[in-house]
């Protein structure tokens, strides 16, 4: 029997993200225990102040990483869609370039429910919000935001779920489509572990 591989695409749109923040984000991906199963897609939404190619190149030896530089600014929704279409794996994550994964086991914890139940379409876990200084707030789940979640690509493709490309809060609209198309609440899995750092 062929063993299923749990390979992921992480889509990270960037727009004038500082080298420091992008390095922090990619470093948190590079420390994942299942690194060999992770494909990173960075979509540069026509940054006009910062050139991120050096930072991306510095991770080429440790990450399976694609860098897409757009010729015009299209907004976060379309940038994510472009990254999604460049993907190749069944499990899809979205990460903001100024955020980071919480631990080396973050993505493995998000994947675990898919391994335990083949009908799983979506997994969501807890995350931390960084407030001022060293203060943090724990969020158990958030139904509308796209981070701290993994989506099954075949489900998104079946219902042609993509980000609206001319709308603010496109992640909210994306997830509303997801919830509308899931016909069984048991196909959504939750875990209490913190997997993501939202650096506010």
Q: Is the pLDDT of residue 133 over 80?
A: no
Q: Which of 103, 108, 146, 134 is nearest to 199 (CA)?
A: 134
Instruction: Give dist(CA 89, CA 169) in Å, integer.
Output: 26
Sign of the alpha-carbon dihedral angle for 62, 65, 71, 75 = negative
Indicate the pTM of the whole model. Answer: 0.95
pLDDT at 1: 44
Averaged confidence pLDDT in the chain: 94
Question: Helices 76-86 & 170-181, crossing angle to 10 degrees?
Answer: 50
Q: Is the pLDDT of residue 180 over 90?
A: yes
User: Between β-strands 64-69 and 38-44, what pairing exists: parallel, antiparallel or unpaired?
Assistant: parallel
Q: Is the pLDDT of residue 2 over 60?
A: no
The model's pLDDT over 121-132, given as tens digits with 9 standing for 90+, comes to 999 999 999 887
pLDDT at 103: 97
The model's pLDDT over 20-30, given as tens digits with 9 standing for 90+, comes to 999 999 999 99
For residue 3, name the pLDDT band (cuts at 50, 70, 90).
Answer: low
3-state secondary structure of 179: helix
The model's pLDDT over 152-167, given as tens digits with 9 standing for 90+, comes to 999 999 999 999 998 8
Domain 8-199 is classified in which CATH homologous superfamily? Answer: Spore Coat Polysaccharide Biosynthesis Protein SpsA; Chain A (3.90.550.10)
Residues 6+ apart with CB under 8 A from 123: 110, 111, 112, 113, 114, 149, 150, 188, 189, 190, 191
Retrieve residue 135's tokens. 């203060």
Contact 7/37 with Cβ under 8 angstroms? yes
pLDDT at 40: 99
The model's pLDDT over 79-112, given as tens digits with 9 standing for 90+, comes to 999 999 999 999 999 999 999 999 999 999 999 9
Q: What is the mean pLDDT of residues 67-76?
A: 97
Contact 162/87 with Cβ under 8 angstroms? no
pLDDT at 140: 87
For residue 200, name the pLDDT band (cuts at 50, 70, 90).
Answer: confident
Q: Is the pLDDT of residue 139 over 50?
A: yes
Q: Is the pLDDT of residue 8 over 70?
A: yes
Residue with tokens 């997801």, as numbered in its chain: 178
Instruction: Give dist(CA 34, CA 110) in Å, integer.
Output: 11
Instruction: Give me the residue spans of the domains in the chain.
Output: 8-199
């Amino acid at each position: 029997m062929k063993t299923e591989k749990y390979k992921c695409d992480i889509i990270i749109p960037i727009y004038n993200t500082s080298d420091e923040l992008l390095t922090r984000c990619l470093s948190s991906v590079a420390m994942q225990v299942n690194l060999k199963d992770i494909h990173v897609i960075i979509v540069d939404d026509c940054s006009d102040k910062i050139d991120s190619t050096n930072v991306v190149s510095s991770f080429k030896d440790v990450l399976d990483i694609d860098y897409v530089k757009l010729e015009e600014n299209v907004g976060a929704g379309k940038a994510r869609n472009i990254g999604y279409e460049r993907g190749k794996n069944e499990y899809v994550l979205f990460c903001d370039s100024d955020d980071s994964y919480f631990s080396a086991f973050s993505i493995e914890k998000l994947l675990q429910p898919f391994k335990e139940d083949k009908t799983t379409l979506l997994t969501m876990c807890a995350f931390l919000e960084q407030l001022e200084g060293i203060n943090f707030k724990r969020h158990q789940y958030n139904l509308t935001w796209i981070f701290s979640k993994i989506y099954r690509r075949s489900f998104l493709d079946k219902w042609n779920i993509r980000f609206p490309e001319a709308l603010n809060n496109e992640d909210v609209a994306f997830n509303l489509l997801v919830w509308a198309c899931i016909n069984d609440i048991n196909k959504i899995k939750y875990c209490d572990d913190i997997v993501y750092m939202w650096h506010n």
